[in-house]
Amino acid sequence: MPLARKTGNEAIENEQRTAGTEAFNRRRFLKQASLGIGVGLGGLLQPYDIFANADDAEKAVKQSASEHARVESHPASSFDLPRWKPEFTGPYDLTDPFDNHFAFAKAQANLAGEYTWLAQYGWILICPPGKPAYPFLGRLTLAKVFVTAADPEWAPDPGEHDYTMWGTMTTTHVDPRNLEPVSRILNPYTGMMIDVPTINYADRLSYRMGQSIVVPGVDPAFYTQPWDADGGFSQHNIDSGDEITYTVLGSAQKDGPHQPRCDVGFWTVRRDELMDPSLRSIDTRRDYSVIQKMTEYSWYGAEAGDEAQIFAHLTGIKTQDIARLPTLIRTNILEANSARFLV
């Protein structure tokens, strides 16, 4: 079914004409089930899972909504925390877990106590069960990241070299053909017009020497993973000579109705820059892929139990130089949300 976009009264009339009573009821149920996830929280919860202090009924709703429910922002005091500026700037023996810990931090963020910008862009594809996938939306994301010494509230008894990475993120969507911003569009799989949100969220991830990353809201038992058994660390790398690529597999996967789902991130850097001890900040190419059921996010409008999946792939850059952000992301996210990103 071809992609279509309508606006104003024409879109509303089309929706009323094609969706029918059953679809409207289904959509209303999904909106109610979301309980306004990520909006109007009024206060910071520990950990950053917004259902952390919820009752059993609300936690059950989380299983039907999204396993990545997060608060929208960090407390203002977070930005005043001392930055993490370790002395181990290279060169590194990447087969040594100690060296590799700092090399990964240099690739993923920086060792200079600076803000890091992470900009990504790509496509969202709809994957109907038993049928070919097709493009649906373009996705743009921007994150402003900084690194502090490990946060003892989230990572109890932190080690000397542990650190916490704080990120303020915004995701918006565009038409995959003309890259124009989209706020309302036809979901060709469901035949329903849907409101396409701008998604604001904040995350805080702790990295502990010799362990996997610590994701808020995930049972610590998750971190005993098969891929950690060989060396006791999750920041595996691929050495292709002139470049080093780090990869983190499937973070925050949980049992439940949204399985199977998986995501994977890649950070690719130049070897000479990674190894140069005079450089605390280097640019990184960032690639990210995720596959998940359409029902994981209620705004897609799929009925509970639907087996259709969403696949997204994004690529972009991590940099300390704000001037290097792609124009598409500067215009549609950074300039449109200047107060959120404090620029």
DSSP string, 74-135: --GGGGGSPBP--S--S---TTSHHHHHHHHHHHHS-SSS--EEEEEEEEEEEE-TTS--EE
Residues 293-322, mean pLDDT to the nearest whole number: 94
The 10 Å Cβ neighbour count of residue 299 is 16
User: Average pLDDT, stretch 205-209?
Assistant: 80
pLDDT band per the 50, 70, 90 thresholds, residue 297: confident
Please report the pLDDT score of residue 216 as a whole number: 52
- Given this model, what pLDDT does residue 286 score? 96
Look at residue 226 and tell me whether its pLDDT is greater than 70.
no
pLDDT at 75: 87
Least confident stretch, 33-37, 97-101, 134-138: 33-37
Q: What is the pLDDT, as a whole number, of residue 78?
A: 87
pLDDT digits (tens, 9 = 90+) for 147-205: 999 877 767 778 888 898 999 999 999 998 899 999 999 999 999 999 999 999 998 88
Q: Phi/psi of residue 92, each to 5°?
A: -120, 145
Are 58 and 51 spatial neighbours (Cβ–Cβ below 8 Å)? yes
Name the burial class of residue 79, with classes exposed (0-12), middle (13-18) and buried (19+) by CB atoms within 10 angstroms of its CB.
middle
Spatial CA neighbour of 189 closest among 132, 139, 138, 140 = 132
Residue 133's pLDDT band, with cuts at 50, 70 and 90, is: very high
- The span from the first CA to the last CA of the chain, in angstroms, equals 41
Q: How far is CA 260 from the centre of its chain?
A: 18
The single-letter code of the amino acid at 39 is V
pLDDT range class, residue 321, cuts 50, 70, 90: very high
115 confidence band (pLDDT: 50, 70, 90): very high
Least trusted range by pLDDT, from 20-29, 243-252, 300-309: 20-29
**What is the number of other CB atoms lying within 10 angstroms of the CB of residue 310?**
23
* 1-15, 63-77, 213-227, 262-276, range with greatest mean pLDDT: 262-276
Is residue 63 predicted with pLDDT exceeding 90?
A: no
- What residues have CB less than 8 Å from 166, skipping those under 6 apart? 74, 78, 145, 146, 147, 148, 202, 203, 204
Q: What is the CB neighbour count within 10 angstroms for residue 242?
A: 8
How many residues does the structure list for the chain?
A: 343
Instruction: Report how far apart, in Å, the C-alpha atoms of 37 and of each of 21, 198, 199 are.
Output: 25, 13, 10
pLDDT for the residue numbered 157 = 77
Report which of residues 36 and 16 the model is more confident about.
Answer: 16
- Return the SS3 of 192: strand
3-state DSSP assignment of residue 211: coil
pLDDT at site 212: 56
Segment 42-49 shows an average pLDDT of 37
